[in-house]
Amino acid sequence: MEHIKLKHLRLGVNIDHVATLRNARGGAHPSPVAAALLAQKAGADGITAHLREDRRHIKDEDINDLKQAIDIPLNFEMAATQEMLENALRVRPIAACIVPERREELTTEGGLAVAGQETRLAPMIDQLKKAGIRVSLFVDADEQELQAAAKLGADIVELHTGRYCDSPAGERRQHEARRIAHGAHFAHALGLEVHAGHGLSFETVSDIAAMPEIVELNIGHFLIGASVFTGLEDAINQMRNLMDEARKRV
């Protein structure tokens, strides 16, 4: 493996499920913006939010309010639709991460099916990049998908860690970790910036954080769940410490 300069591992905190909790009762509490500000204070390097087509958690006004309120980068997760493209171009986040929302857009393991959708994705990626928005594609650690992402001119690939996190600890999970490590290496060699996320927890974060090509993790559901017990700042601090410890092993 060629030598790579080890970069700071950024933690993007996904606050979608603060909105899930708020929406369970309607009204304004708990506020995703307040959570984002607390995450920022606790040392998050970025805030991630997914405006879904069905608005099941984050709503349009949340995205506007987040963009106004936070000083750290906003990573806008979006489906590959005209409506979401217009939202991204209006909000102008630092980065837009294109994720699958419909079954037919999914690969077998859950990432975006980039290979085969080039004609649909190319103009969207082009418009986002022209607007100065960094484009990330949420994909499986699969060579064909990574090659397709690079060919389309994506700046970033976010590797899907869901299957790794869902696998039982032991050989099955280690096998998934090796698959992600290979994907990270392969993507980096293609010139892509490599992020990872989905399902990461205190138990599963370290092996991913120890992969030198990965420079950002996006973590949501587990952190919001843990914060019910210990508070968001504490949950973020614990995650940050695990990431830093793992990075020392590299």
Residues labelled as active-site residues = 50, 77, 198
The helix (H) or strand (E) run that includes residue 128 is helix 118-130
Q: Does residue number 193 form part of the binding site for ligand PXP (CB under 6 A)? A: no
- List CB contacts of 202: < 8 A, sequence separation 6 or more: 222, 226, 238, 239, 242
CB of 157 closer than 8 Å to CB of 137: yes
Interface residue with ligand PXP, options 45, 77, 176, 207 (CB under 6 A):
77
Here the tokens at position 21 are: 């909790």
Biggest CA-to-CA distance, the chain: 53
Q: From the CB of 115, what's the least distance to ligand PXP, in Å?
A: 18
The site map against ligand PXP for 95-124 (x = CB under 6 A) is: --x-x-------------------------
Q: Which is nearer to ligand PXP, 97 or 125 (CB)?
A: 97
Position 76, amino acid: F
Does 87 engage in binding with ligand PXP (CB under 6 A)?
A: no
CB atoms within 10 A of CB 200: 26
- Give the one residue of 76, 164, 186, 222 binding ligand PXP; rule: CB under 6 A: 222
By CB under 6 A, is residue 198 in contact with ligand PXP?
Answer: yes
Q: Would you count residue 164 as binding ligand PXP (CB under 6 A)?
A: no
Q: Does 176 bind ligand PXP (CB under 6 A)?
A: no
Residue 197 as a binder of ligand PXP (CB under 6 A): the answer is yes
Per CB under 6 A, 50 contacts ligand PXP = yes
140 counts as binding ligand PXP under rule CB under 6 A? no
CB of 160 to ligand PXP, least distance (A): 7
Residues 6+ positions from 4 with CB-CB distance below 8 Å: 188, 212, 213
Least CB distance to ligand PXP at residue 100 (A)? 9
Does residue 31 come out as left (phi exceeding 0), alpha (psi in the -120 to 50 range) or beta? Answer: beta
CB-CB contact of 5 with 38 (8 Å): no
Residues 165 and 200: their CA atoms lie apart, in Å, by 6
d(CA 18, CA 224): 7
Residue closer to ligand PXP, measured from CB, 97 or 148: 97
> What is the binding site for ligand PXP (CB under 6 A)?
14, 16, 50, 77, 97, 99, 138, 158, 197-200, 218-222
